[in-house]
Structure 1
Amino acid sequence: DELERAQKLLPIVFGHNDLLPANILDDGKRLWLIDFEYAGFNTAMFDLAGAASNAGMNDDESFAFLTAYFMKEPDGEIRRSHAAMQCASLLREAMWSMVSELYLDAPGIDYVAYTEENLVRLDAALENYRTKYGIKS
């Protein structure tokens, strides 16, 4: 509820829904998005937050990213929404990894470690969010 209440209503768009750095290729001339298996309609904030959290952007980088997307500096409501959605994105990634621990067996992939990494990142993101914005009812 806490993270949902922080969301600013934005238009629903067609989203990638898995913007990990590995799914963005740069051929030197342009960027290519690959791996659309989770694509669908969603708020743009999910992709914006997912890209930022998955790339490990700091607050300044996230601010610049949002400014580029919205073509203006984001207001406090957008920044709060973005920080909350980063938490939701990390939670989704951690849960995906937990399921992968049980059902996937890709050579060289340590899903247990990936789950732990995402849970640590989620805890840090939640701490950052709550420190900045508190828990709003």
Structure 2
Amino acid sequence: MTWRDIVDQIAWLRATTYEVEELTGGLTNVNLKVTHPGGTCVVRVAQPGSELLAIDRDHEHHNSVAAATAGVGAGVIDYLPDAGLMVVEYVDGRTFTDDDLRSGDHLGRVAAAVRQLHGGPRFEGDFDMFTLQPTYLSIVTERGFRLPHRYLDFAPQVERIRRAFAVRAEPTVPCNNDLLAGNLIDDGAKIWLIDYEYSGNNEATFELGNLWSEAGLTLDQLEELMAAYDGAVHRHRVARARLWGLMAKYGWTLWGSIQDSVSTFDFDFWGWAMEKYDRAVAEFDGPDFDRLLDEAAGDA
């Protein structure tokens, strides 16, 4: 089936003259930029196997609409669940790279956009890496997918993080949960947050810690990001974000293992997973782990 065959499933586009361009960057979707007489849109094409990654397409649609209502997500134009298609507005701007975030020039604006999302309408569904990680692990072990050396050895550390977080539970807010640099677009006036496949209500510190981890920001930049979001540096919040960033690396490692086994994309998913896992191991084994647990459970 060609891209045009796929786009032709959308009745109102089929009735027009349009041009299709495949966009780069997606690892669980194919994103097609469609230019038609009325403007430009993006057709998101779900790929087989995404159900193993705990992606709920109905939640993605609902939450994309909510993010647009919050003013930071692209507007949703159409949704064809049986065809695995969602049509959203095309955001004309510059897609961020890790280097853009590492420069530090945009962290305040990024924090403002994240706060705007978190202050918007409640999402459908919840996202909890303490639940998702064992779900991924069951899939990996039951199907005989690749598991990194020592992966299971860190279960006690994960439980320690869970217990530390339980000392002072934080409220959940609508989160994207996948804010890597490529999901931030700067149109010159504002920063848009796109791609709500993993969206759900979650702790704000997961969102920020995951962003810190994905972009490879420094610890000073994490503090800057947290200060911009919270209005001041709070040690327990920074520690919580760091530990969520660690949990994100640990959990997304298994995402990479699943994709390495089932995805048809030409991408080194195992190398991607191991880069995250190696950084997670360094943090589990590192000198700051015990202190971060204490700080996360504190109130300073």
TM-score range, shorter chain: 0.7 to 0.9
Bigger share in strand: 2
- How far the C-alpha of 1:135 sits from its partner, in A, is 8.0
Partner secondary structure for residue 248 of structure 2: helix
Q: For residue 93 of structure 1, what is the amino acid of its counterpart?
A: W
Paired residue for 2:230, among 70, 78, 88?
Answer: 70
Q: Residue 43 of structure 1 aligns with which residue?
A: 203
Q: Residue 133 of structure 1 aligns with which residue?
A: 292
Q: Residue 93 in 1 paired to residue 230 in 2?
A: no
The answer for unaligned runs of 5 or more in structure 1 is none
Q: Deviations over 1:58-111 (max 9, x none)?
A: 11000011111111121x22222122111111112211111101111212x101
Distance (whole Å) between structure 2 residues aligned to residue 36 and residue 115 of structure 1: 21
Task: Tell me: CA distance 1:88–1:96, structure 2 relative to 1, closer, same or farther (3 Å).
Answer: same
Bigger share in helix: 1
- Aligned identity (percent) is 25
The 5 Å alignment of 1:1-137 reads 1-7=159-165, 8-74=168-234, 76-107=235-266, 109-126=267-284, 127=286, 129-130=288-289, 132-133=291-292
Distance (whole Å) between structure 1 residues aligned to residue 197 and residue 256 of structure 2: 16
Distance (whole Å) between structure 2 residues aligned to residue 129 and residue 35 of structure 1: 33
Q: Residue 104 of structure 2 aligns with which residue?
A: none
The answer for unaligned runs of 5 or more in structure 2 is 1-158, 296-300
Partner secondary structure for residue 185 of structure 2: strand
Distance (whole Å) between structure 2 residues aligned to residue 9 and residue 97 of structure 1: 29
Distance (whole Å) between structure 1 residues aligned to residue 186 and residue 290 of structure 2: 36
Task: Tell me: CA distance 1:44–1:71, structure 2 relative to 1, closer, same or farther (3 Å).
Answer: same
Task: Tell me: CA distance 1:24–1:125, structure 2 relative to 1, closer, same or farther (3 Å).
Answer: farther
Task: Tell me: CA distance 1:88–1:13, structure 2 relative to 1, closer, same or farther (3 Å).
Answer: same
The RMSD of aligned alpha carbons is 1.9
Q: Deviations over 1:112-137 (max 9, x none)?
A: 1111111112112322542643789x
Q: For residue 82 of structure 1, what is the amino acid of its counterpart?
A: A
| Greater length-normalized contact order (CA 8 Å, ≥ 6 residues apart) | 1
Moved over 4 A (4+): none
Distance (whole Å) between structure 2 residues aligned to residue 133 and residue 34 of structure 1: 31
Q: Which has the larger radius of gyration?
A: 2
Compute the TM-score of the two structures, normalised by the length of structure 2: 0.42
